[in-house]
Structure 1
Amino acid sequence: MSDAVEPLGLVEVGDGPPLVAVHGALAGGRLTFEGVARRWGRRSRVLVVDRPGFERTPGPEATIGEQALRLLATIDEHADGGPVDAIGSSFGGLVLLRAVQARPDAFRSLVVVETAAIDLTPSDMVEPTRLLRAARAAHERAQLDVEAAFGDLFDAVDPALMAALSPLYRRGDPGLSMLPGDLAIWQAMLDRAGLADAVSGEVPIPVTTVSGTTSHPAFRTFGACTAAALFGHHHVLDGAGHAAHLHPRFPDLLGAHLDTVG
């Protein structure tokens, strides 16, 4: 990894094999993971990163490719180049998959939570198509009124989570201003064949995908299709929403996943 690539800002919690946590849109690493990272830290050294533009990683937003390179630079600096276990939530799952595509040897296992991996999903599936239309409309609206776009998108994705997060953005959380760039991440391509080769290489990378039952039904389709494309296992947590990693049963699911990789 080139020295010119700047690692992401992060906080470390716990001790053990490294587990990198990559947050999604709107909320950075602190708001997304720190409430649960201490429990995960009982068996892992959890590296809670902030993607570019969020809290511990100041600066302009970046393309998905740039974010993937910075994630890999972070693994180089803080985890001796890996391999690491990794969790990607929502948009963070796309960044994670792009990093795996670029350098699979940096990863030991993957947990992909409520991630809309469009390129791993057949284009004729109804619910993903509806969600993608909502995201594109929000992207267009964000050029004029980012707060309204935020509301439109989360009304489609998970209204309950929208209600919980709204006060944070009224206080000026940086995630709101990052929304247009994050929506553009959906335009970026993942290489289905390249990813399949990456996770099934000489040292296979176990993949677990996680969906909730109270978010948009498209995410269950995305989770199932991502698991099928990457030879993984798909889990649906009853009662979980888009923030499925906060569900009370998620630590047990994560523990079972980590047990399979040693």
Structure 2
Amino acid sequence: MKTEPVGGHPTHLRRFGTGARPALALHCSLAHGGAWGPMAAELGDVLTLTAPDLPGHGHSADWPANGSLHDTATDVAAALARRIGDGAPVDILGHSFGGTVALRLALEHPELVRSLTLFEPVMFSAAAADNAPEAADWIGKQARFHNLLDQGRRNEAAAVFHALWGNGTPLDHLPDSQRRYIIDRIEVIRAAEDVVERDRTGLVAPGRLEALRLPVLLAAGSRSPGVIHAIIRALATRIPGARHIVMEGAGHMLPLSHAALLAPAVRDHLGLQARR
């Protein structure tokens, strides 16, 4: 593990696995690159995963004060894909916020991406564009989160966010270091809204998703919020040839909680041999 400039941004890097095929793994909000450990344990015989701490997370620097979190994260991802691919496209795995960065990378730099494996990408604007009723329900829940942040009630805002998107353990039951990590970084959620909610870069504009020409696997947990299933439906309908799986009993943290059960589908998607 080391921190180094990536696309001009001080980025902490982690690498997992010894496989011959390079892959880039992009974590969810309020996590860090180490979250890919469970998936790497299942796929590390065939993949070497490079997992950065995205801007504002882990040991990486914050995004520029006058810049965009999503823009900086995408710049980091593009620079890493070029580096580890050595001129060839690479497989990209993305979870939640990281899934939206992965999707943007494929749309803006298709020459860098061999395949996409997206675990619950929180592209809320895709569900909104599809007029999904779950999107309206989500807006109401998000409004409570915003109101708490506006009032400076960061602990309560973090608790609301974690209850919806965490692993089922209440925030105040987490170890102190993990709880503080989440509370200290809760503003990154708001910092990503320009893309994941308002689609500033037009990722889900008419014709954009339909133009993707690469293998895409979309995975969701059966116990995840309804808006996730609306997002996955919208993406699966619009991305040519996209595969869509639902992992029974899993929630939003499925790459961590259900890695062993997901791995066969990921191997099949990537055209990799099953572990013997």
TM-score between the two structures when normalised by the length of structure 1 = 0.85
In the alignment, is residue 129 of structure 1 matched against residue 133 of structure 2? Answer: no
- Offset of residue 90 of structure 1: 0.7
- Offset of residue 65 of structure 1: 1.6
Residue 59 of structure 1 is matched in structure 2 by 62
Q: Which amino acid aligns with 2:145?
A: A
- Offset of residue 72 of structure 1: 0.4
Kindly report which structure 2 residues correspond to 1:239-254, keeping only aligned pairs within 5 A, or say none.
Answer: 239-246=249-256, 247=258, 248-254=260-266
- Offset of residue 210 of structure 1: 0.5
Q: Which amino acid aligns with 1:258?
A: L
- Offset of residue 7 of structure 1: 6.8
- Offset of residue 55 of structure 1: 2.0
- Offset of residue 220 of structure 1: 1.6
Moved more, 50-59 or 151-160: 151-160
Distance 1:233 1:252, change over 3 A: same
Match of 1:71, SS state, is helix
CA contact (8 A) 2:28 2:98 kept: yes
In the alignment, is residue 36 of structure 1 matched against residue 39 of structure 2? Answer: yes
Residue 155 of structure 2 is matched in structure 1 by 147
Kindly provide the CA deviation profile for residues 124-155 of structure 1, in whole angstroms up to 9, marking residues without a partner as x. Answer: 31222212332243134224122211211232
Residue 210 of structure 2 is matched in structure 1 by 196
Q: Which amino acid aligns with 2:77?
A: L
- Offset of residue 4 of structure 1: 5.8
Question: Which of 220, 228, 245 pairs up with 1:211?
Answer: 220
Kindly report which structure 2 residues correspond to 1:69-218, keeping only aligned pairs within 5 A, or say none.
Answer: 69-121=75-127, 122-143=129-150, 144-157=152-165, 160=168, 162=170, 166-167=174-175, 172-173=180-181, 175-188=182-195, 189=199, 190-192=202-204, 193-197=207-211, 199-200=212-213, 205-218=214-227
Identity score, percent: 22
Q: Structure 1 unaligned runs (5+)?
A: none
Distance 1:182 1:163, change over 3 A: closer
Root mean square deviation, CA, Å: 2.6
CA contact (8 A) 1:158 1:215 kept: no
In the alignment, is residue 238 of structure 1 matched against residue 217 of structure 2? Answer: no
Moved more, 79-88 or 118-127: 118-127
Residue 25 of structure 1 is matched in structure 2 by 29
- Offset of residue 107 of structure 1: 0.3
Give the paired residue count. Answer: 252
CA contact (8 A) 2:117 2:218 kept: yes
Q: Structure 2 unaligned runs (5+)?
A: 1-5
The 2-side partners of 1:136 and 1:151 are apart by 14
- Offset of residue 120 of structure 1: 2.3
- Offset of residue 57 of structure 1: 1.5
Distance 1:161 1:258, change over 3 A: farther
Distance 1:165 1:46, change over 3 A: farther
